[in-house]
Amino acid sequence: MRDSVVGPRVLLKRLRELMAEPLGPQERLDHIVRDIARNMVAEVCSLYVLRADSVLELYATEGLNPGSVHLAQLRLGQGLVGTIAASARALNLSNAQEHPAFAYLPETGEEIYHSFLGVPVLRAGRTLGVLVVQNRTMRTYREDEVEALETTAMVIAEMIAAGDLARLSRPGIELDLSRPVSMTGLAFNEGVGLGHVVLHEPRIVVTNLFNEDSEAEVDRLDAALGSLRLSIDDMLSRREVAFEGEHRDVLEAYRMFANDRGWVRRLEEAIRNGLTAEAAVEKVQSDMRARMVHMTDPYMRERMSDFDDLANRLLRQLMGRSPDDIAAALPKDSIIVARSMGAAELLDYPREKLRGLVLEDSAITSHVVIVARAMGIPVVGQVKGGVSMSENGDAVIVDGEEGAVHLRPQSDVESAYAEKVRFRARRQQLYRELRKKPSVSRDGVSVDLMMNAGLAVDLPQLADAGAAGIGLFRTELQFMVASTFPRAEAQERLYRDVLDAAQGKPVTFRTIDIGGDKVLPYFKDAGQEENPALGWRAVRLTLDRPGLLRTQVRALLRAAGGRELRVMLPMVTELGEIAQAREIIDREVRHLSRFGHHLPNSLKIGAMLEVPSLLFQLDELMQTVDFVSVGSNDLFQFVMATDRGNSQLADRFDALSVPFLRILRQIAQAGKRNETPVTLCGELAGKPISAMALIGLGYRAISMSPAAIGPVKAMLAELPVDDLTTFMNENLAGMSARLPMRALLHTFADDRGIPL
């Protein structure tokens, strides 16, 4: 095969000529794919366009069967083309048929081609289609060929966005993105949000692609970069940023990237290939995102959002737009739609304007989902095509209970959800009225309803929810939203703020629980594990790296001077771990005492019961610690041997099953027998029906999300605890335990008018 004559500038020149010719849309597309194939010495060039029904349709081809145009189709995520569209990243393969995503379309005749290069057609962060070249010989396409195809895809994106291809589509699948679309994903946080789409970090739309004077564009780039660097330095010097650990870390990373010569050199090269400064930023940004998504290093993958944000700031500098203007322009009912985003980025949005969050990627354990849950925002994740199907300002409904997203909903759907929101609002008003009332059952049994927390943003909800205290403060969240280990001073400041906000109510701090599914991208000691949930995590990790635990304990002791300090150890497997941790804590107490620091007036050390081995040493455990907290989420998955993140198993096993309820009752009885307080903090505590079961098992303190306290308190006010205890004991005994407990509990509640 002869050498390629490809080059971005050659293709751009030809595309500019084609755009100026008086051609119909199909004829223009046919010319484009023919010229791309000729310039890249490729036997095949094909363009697939993403329709409004999430199907990729072949719109033009050179080399495949021409009769397959507008007939060959792939679903989003299907085949190599669908994979590129779903992930918004390029694929460069020497033998496409060996790739696990390869899908054979017989109508196209593509089985004879081996090498494959496909790039997403992107505009404003949305995937509009996929552009592909193929060859019979097995080869890997060079970087300049990839760059040429990506540059060409930018021009095609403008054609699609301008509506030039609309009349090529069949009725009902127009590309105008105006028709209603319903998508399903996974429910990551309950609640319903009605509002309007805000594409996270929306790409500044670049319409002027080709430059007339490369040197003048390089000068514009230099001036914008200078302004960008000054603005970042200015943000870092502001008083209000100085002590905001996670935000400061992000800004420090931005400053480093803004001064990166390699990044600037790629921008200048794109300009000299014929692009404007704005188009060069868009081009390099897309290219960098595509390259970084291949990396397995979690730190580099986490930094993708930093690069994206930096590029958008640079685009705003080039186009004279102020970030403050963009923030002010956010609708008051914003629903953020994103492929993925960092936890600190979500905190940058004004909380009062947020109504929901839609994510294409992420898992229920992702940092951003944890923060969103703390903020009380409905979240739906794994919504494939969510960004591509959305436009800024589109009406949207997020159903965090069913895991559904309704884009541009029809009026009857919108009315039904509006009524659902009004009903929830009326219930919330009822819960607010219960806020200051004691959490006492109908027959006078008092139950402490505590809240779970982990960030400063959670603290106002302590009073708003009427919680009896913080039953679980997840200290690791501060580590997860930061780019480096938080300094001891930052930790101490957060812990002091938490205790101040509690105003004397009890607060239980769980020591740092990282590892497993909670990976810190900057913590290099943690290697790959086949089964991280059962691996090096929580107290196992901190006992092996005692410097982490010592720093945290010292910060806690200093923050709690003159007050009670409750410290809880996670993932305890055997009592020797408690003894080791207590020795570290005692050493820090002696150290601070020696230097005259103000110490807590009471120090209580507890353990989290989430490993089944502790079930066989319950009495010894209760006598070793000051309190026990049941981590029902992990305990359930370990007892039932089921991964709670596995969607195939999500509904297979019920936490309200007889075996698990018997275990929970056994723990409560051991606490009562040894006069050791036992709390349960986990998802079980946050649902009225499962909270009712826990109270019937003997739990008198449970900890949940702030939003769950109102519904649980309303249930408790109507609950006859003595009758329930008898009912639970009878139905967990002997042969009667064969009946499904969840159904029995519903019947018990219905018969007595208990709201669930």
Instruction: Give every CB contact of residue 548 below 8 A, 6+ residues apart in sequence.
Output: 485, 512, 541, 542
pLDDT grade for 170, boundaries at 50, 70 and 90:
low
pLDDT in tens, 678-718: 999 988 998 999 999 999 999 999 999 887 888 899 999 99
Query: Which residue spans within 208-319 are E strands per DSSP?
Result: none
DSSP result, 341-381: --HHHHHHS-GGGEEEEEESS--TTSHHHHHHHHHT--EEE
The pLDDT > 90 percentage for the chain reads: 34
- Among 134-143, 187-196, 201-210, name the one with the lowest average pLDDT: 201-210
Question: How far is the C-alpha of 617 from the C-alpha of 621, rounded, in Å?
Answer: 6
pLDDT(533) > 60: yes
Q: Which residue has the higher pLDDT, 373 or 718?
A: 718
- Our CA dihedral for 353, 356, 358, 364, rounded to 10 degrees, sits at 120
Q: Which residue has the higher pLDDT, 295 or 607?
A: 607
- Domains of the chain in sequence order: 8-168 (3.30.450.40), 180-204+331-431 (3.50.30.10), 208-320 (1.10.274.10), 435-752 (3.20.20.60)
**Residues 206-224: tens digit of each pLDDT:** 667 777 788 888 888 888 8
pLDDT at residue 297, rounded to an integer? 44
Rounded to the nearest 10 degrees, what angle do helices 261-272 and 214-237 cross at? 150
Longest Cα pair distance anywhere in the chain, in angstroms?
89
Three-state DSSP state, 644? coil
Neighbouring C-beta atoms of residue 263, cutoff 10 Å? 20
* 448, pLDDT greater than 70: yes
**Residue 326's pLDDT band (cuts 50, 70, 90):** low
Confidence class of residue 246 from pLDDT cuts 50, 70 and 90? very low
Least confident window among 246-255, 437-446, 647-656: 246-255
Residue 24 has pLDDT above 70, yes or no: yes
Maximum mean pLDDT: which of 92-101, 391-400, 572-581: 572-581
pLDDT at 479 over 50: yes
- C-alpha closest to that of 382 among 152, 123, 626, 184: 184
| Residue scoring higher pLDDT (493 or 279) | 493
Cβ neighbours of residue 43 under 8 Å, at least 6 residues apart?
A: 37, 63, 113, 134, 135, 136
pLDDT of 3:
43
Q: What is the pLDDT confidence band of residue 520, given thresholds at 50, 70 and 90?
A: low
Taking 90 as the threshold, does the pLDDT of residue 439 lie above it?
A: yes
Rounded to the nearest 10 degrees, how much is the dihedral formed by the CA atoms of 156, 157, 161, 162?
-30
Q: Return the higher-pLDDT residue of 105 and 416.
A: 416
Measured CA angle at 140 (ends 58, 262), to 5 deg: 100
> Average pLDDT in the 738-745 region?
86
Alpha-carbon gap, residue 633 to 249, rounded angstroms:
32
Above 50 in pLDDT, residue 300? no
DSSP string, 150-218: HHHHHHHHHHHHTTTTGGGSPTT--TT--S-EEEE-EEEE--EEEEEEEESSPPPP----B-S-HHHHH
Confidence of residue 197 (pLDDT cuts 50, 70, 90): very high
pLDDT at 234 over 80: no
HSE toward the beta carbon, residue 81, CA cutoff 13 A:
27
Residue at 493: amino acid letter: R
The reported pLDDT for the residue numbered 238 is: 47
- Look at residue 559 and tell me whether its pLDDT is greater than 80: yes
> Using one digit for the tens of pLDDT, what is the confidence trace for 35-55?
889 888 899 999 999 887 778
What average pLDDT does the chain have? Answer: 82
Which pLDDT score is estimated for 2? 40
Q: Higher confidence at residue 231 or residue 384?
A: 384
Q: How confident is the model at residue 240 (pLDDT cuts 50, 70, 90)?
A: very low
Question: Can you tell me which residue has the tokens 């330095």?
Answer: 233
pLDDT band at 189 (very low <50, low <70, confident <90, very high): confident
Q: Which of 137-141, 235-239, 358-362, 364-368 has the highest mean pLDDT?
A: 137-141
User: Phi/psi of residue 165, each to 5°?
Assistant: -100, 0
Looking at residue 243, its pLDDT comes to 43
The per-residue pLDDT for 587 is: 95
Say yes or no to pLDDT of 298 above 50.
no
Q: What is the mean pLDDT of residues 354-380?
A: 80
More confident: 596 or 174: 596
pLDDT at 61 over 50: yes
Alpha-carbon distance of 276 to 208, in angstroms, equals 7
Binning pLDDT at 50, 70 and 90, where does residue 295 land? very low
User: Model pTM?
Assistant: 0.61
Q: Quick one: which of 267, 264, 261, 259 has its CA closest to 229? A: 259
What totals of helices (H) and strands (E) does the chain contain, helices first? 28, 22
- pLDDT score recorded for residue 154: 82
Question: Which amino acid belongs to residue 443?
Answer: D
State mean pLDDT over 356-375. Answer: 76
User: Could you tell me which residue, 504 or 189, shows the higher pLDDT?
Assistant: 504
Higher-confidence residue of 555 and 345: namely 555
